[in-house]
């Protein structure tokens, strides 16, 4: 049985939704951020960075949400949540997953935690403003892609990229230019909320659907 260390609406949401899509046995283990549990000695043994999530798969201890998603699709190829390795489609799968985690997610995190990159309030506000602009521009790229090649990130094929995007779009609701204000992303969000696995994961984490 998999064990997913999580906190509601953190980066664990994408692998949580993926576990539900796969229909495999798993257990959630709460890491209570309100009490700083992610910085406890016990948790730091799992992830020295003190970040959520961590997946336990037997002897494998795996942090990093995108890495967990890749691990799960590779462990369960029969589910068809990633294209076959070596195909052109798999290359695009890698492209978009890395784009989401390295570009969109990183920019959202900068907008949320601008104080980490500034020495004073003026600097914090400047970093925040620029990050919010970058998030908006990045969402525009995804909107254009879905408008021309949707309804899913890999066209007609639903994949593990889509829960990852859904998670980040949900986070963008706290920023000035939310994903759901864009027509193709709004349609994508509506399609995602119709999937039982997505609804179950969000219900378990007490996350309101868009």
pLDDT at 47: 98
- Omega into 115 within 30° of 0, i.e. cis? no
How many CB atoms are closer than 10 A to CB 195?
17
Coil, helix or strand at residue 60: strand
Coil, helix or strand at residue 18: helix
pLDDT at 153: 98
pLDDT tens track of the chain, all 210 residues? 999 999 999 999 999 999 999 999 999 999 999 999 999 999 999 999 999 999 999 999 999 999 999 999 999 999 999 999 999 999 999 999 999 999 999 999 999 999 999 999 999 999 999 999 999 999 999 999 999 999 999 999 999 999 999 999 999 999 999 999 999 999 999 999 999 999 999 999 999 998
pLDDT at 109: 97
**Checking DSSP bridges between strand 60-63 and strand 54-57, what pairing results, if any?**
antiparallel
Q: How far is CA 111 from CA 38, 94, 108, 134, in A?
A: 21, 25, 5, 9
DSSP one-letter code for 84? P
Q: Which domains does the chain have, with CATH numbers?
A: 2-79 (3.40.30.10), 88-195 (1.20.1050.10)
Q: Residue 188 belongs to what H/E stretch? A: helix 183-193
pLDDT at 146: 98
Contact 207, 7 (CB under 8 A): no
**Which residue, chain included where needed, has tokens 């953190």?**
10
pTM tops 0.85, yes or no: yes
Q: From CA 70, how far away is CA 64, in angstroms rounded?
A: 10
């Amino acid at each position: 049985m998999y064990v997913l260390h999580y906190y509601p609406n953190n980066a664990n949401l994408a692998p949580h939704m993926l576990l539900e899509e796969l229909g495999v046995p798993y257990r959630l283990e709460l890491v209570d951020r309100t009490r700083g549990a992610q910085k406890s000695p016990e948790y730091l043994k799992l992830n020295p960075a003190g970040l959520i999530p961590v997946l336990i798969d037997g002897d494998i201890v795996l942090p990093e949400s995108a890495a967990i998603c890749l691990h799960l699709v590779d462990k369960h190829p029969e589910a068809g949540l990633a294209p076959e390795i070596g195909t052109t489609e798999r290359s695009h799968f890698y492209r978009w997953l890395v784009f989401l985690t390295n570009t969109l997610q990183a920019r959202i995190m900068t907008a949320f935690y601008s104080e980490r990159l500034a020495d004073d309030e003026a600097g914090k506000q400047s970093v925040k403003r620029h990050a919010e602009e970058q998030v908006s521009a990045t969402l525009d790229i995804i909107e254009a892609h879905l408008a021309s090649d949707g309804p899913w990130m890999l066209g007609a094929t639903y994949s593990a990229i889509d829960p990852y995007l859904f998670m980040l779009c949900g986070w963008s609701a706290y920023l000035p230019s939310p994903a759901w204000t864009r027509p193709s992303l709004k349609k994508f969000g509506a399609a995602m909320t119709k999937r039982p696995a997505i609804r179950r994961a969000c219900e378990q984490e007490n996350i309101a659907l868009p």
